[in-house]
Amino acid sequence: MFPDRLRELRKGRNITLENLAEEMNKHLEPGQKPNTAAQIGNWERGDRSPSYIEVRKLADFFNVSMDFLVGRAMSEKTDLSLLFLSGKEIDFNGKPLTDQQRFDIFQYVNAYLNPVSYTAEDDLRSNHQESLF
């Protein structure tokens, strides 16, 4: 389960093995050896298993729980806004969405969930400004 989840998370963010190793090495603790692309590739293939510290760093980097990463939790909350703004391909009714469609849907959902409320005073200001021009 862990190898599949790691590969899925990495590819979902369009990150290479090299980039992931670099990111993990940014926060090395004293005495820790740097991570390599080959090492992460071994984890993804299931040839080797990472230490607890490495799993924690991966979970923090991908913003998921360690339980999700190692397969003890079947689902993880998904931030819909991140999904629409990520580079991951999204299909709707079997058809891939274009970048513009993804952005438009993001805008629609955002407007629906975060409606802007106008007061009568806002209408007066708006009408007043329009009449000036």
Decide which of 70, 105, 123 is a domain's last residue.
70
Indicate whether 12 belongs to any domain.
yes
DSSP class of 13: T
How far is residue 116's CA from residue 111's CA, in Å, rounded to a whole number?
Answer: 8
What is the residue range of 26's domain?
Answer: 2-70
At 91 the three-state DSSP class reads strand
Is residue 55 very low, low, confident or very high in pLDDT (cuts 50, 70, 90)? Answer: very high
pLDDT tens digits, residue range 103-122? Answer: 888 888 888 888 876 665 65
The total of structural domains in the chain comes to 2
How far is residue 27's CA from residue 83's CA, in Å, rounded to a whole number?
Answer: 26
pLDDT higher than threshold 90 for residue 58: yes
Amino acid letter, residue 95: K
Indicate whether 88 belongs to any domain.
yes
Token code pair at residue 37: 């692309």
Continuous segment of H or E residues that includes residue 83: helix 80-85
